[in-house]
Amino acid sequence: MALAIEAVKAGDADVAVSAGNTGALMALAKFILRTLPSIDRPALASLLPTYKGECVMLDLGANVECDASNLVEFSVMGAAFARTVLGLQRPKLSLLNIGVEELKGNEEVKEAAEILRKSDLPLEFAGFIEGDMIGAGSADVVVTDGFTGNVALKTAEGTARLIGSLVRDAFQSSTRAKLGYLMARRGLDGLRSHLDPNNHNGAVMLGLNGLVVKSHGGASISGFATAIGVAIDMARHNLIHLITEDLGGVSMGQSVEDEAPLSNPENEASSR
């Protein structure tokens, strides 16, 4: 892993792809490549299947605790990734929250939303999204902290396995059910392909001064090929340049210092 990342740093490779240990790969990548000058923390992003196709979700575990500026940085990186891999000019982006109302959520999420509403970024900020809306394809990019993102990802993976097991058991329950499977096989094969993790393999470490893609350790040959395809797309579209360029369209300080004089003292007193 270290040699592959060193090759990226030296310019001998455009991107590194590894199926090794996630923690070790991230530590090596951060140590060798360092983060981009305008990025505080890198994030782990991946494609998830939805009813409408795919969406980008980040952070998936790199940062357990995040402040508003981190979430905004993740938004910039996630939108650039969606433009590169999904081919969307203005991806629809939402922040994962416990409700869609503006008053819901912790201060970090609400502050990040306020910054994104005022930003000049090549994305459509759609406010908040709840967990049950991700699979419906309500957003092209879903942004959250690493703790919540990892829990959401593992929950989605477990739910997909549960549904697969229940459907398989149902079609094996009787001779009539097996005949039904034969008639529905083509549609079920399409469903299996859409939900197959190998077809959505390749978590990207965004925010580094170089491109690194993490393949699932248990991925098949086709799954690893999918991760390589993601890596090629990023290198071909110069993802790092897109991220650096897009960061110029947002001011991280707007939500705190610039807006403080405009706040209502009575509201502040009541909130305390």
Amino acid at 62: A
Peptide bond into 12 cis (omega under 30): no
Decide: helix, strand or coil at residue 72: helix
CATH class of 2-248: alpha beta
User: Residues of 170-198 as b/e, b for ≥16 C-beta within 10 angstroms?
Assistant: ebeeeeeeeeeeeeeeeeeeeeeeebbbb
Specify whether the CB–CB gap between 109 and 97 falls below 8 A.
Answer: yes
User: Structural domain boundaries of the chain?
Assistant: 2-248
* Nearest-angstrom CA–CA distance, 196 and 182: 20
- Residue given tokens 């090629």 in the structure block: 232
Give the pLDDT score at 255.
Answer: 39
Decide: helix, strand or coil at residue 216: coil
* Nearest-angstrom CA–CA distance, 155 and 140: 19
Conformation bin of residue 93: beta by default, left when phi > 0, alpha when psi is -120 to 50: beta
Give the pLDDT score at 186.
Answer: 86
Give the pLDDT score at 197.
Answer: 77
For residue 165, the cross-strand partners are none
Amino acid at 13: A
Tokens of 66: 């995040």
Give the pLDDT of the chain (272 residues) as one tens digit per residue: 999 999 999 999 999 999 888 888 989 999 999 999 888 899 999 999 999 999 999 999 889 899 999 999 999 999 999 998 898 999 999 999 999 998 899 999 999 999 999 988 899 999 999 999 999 999 999 999 999 999 998 898 888 889 888 988 998 999 988 898 888 888 888 888 888 777 788 889 999 999 999 988 888 898 899 999 989 988 888 888 888 888 876 666 543 334 344 444 444 444 43
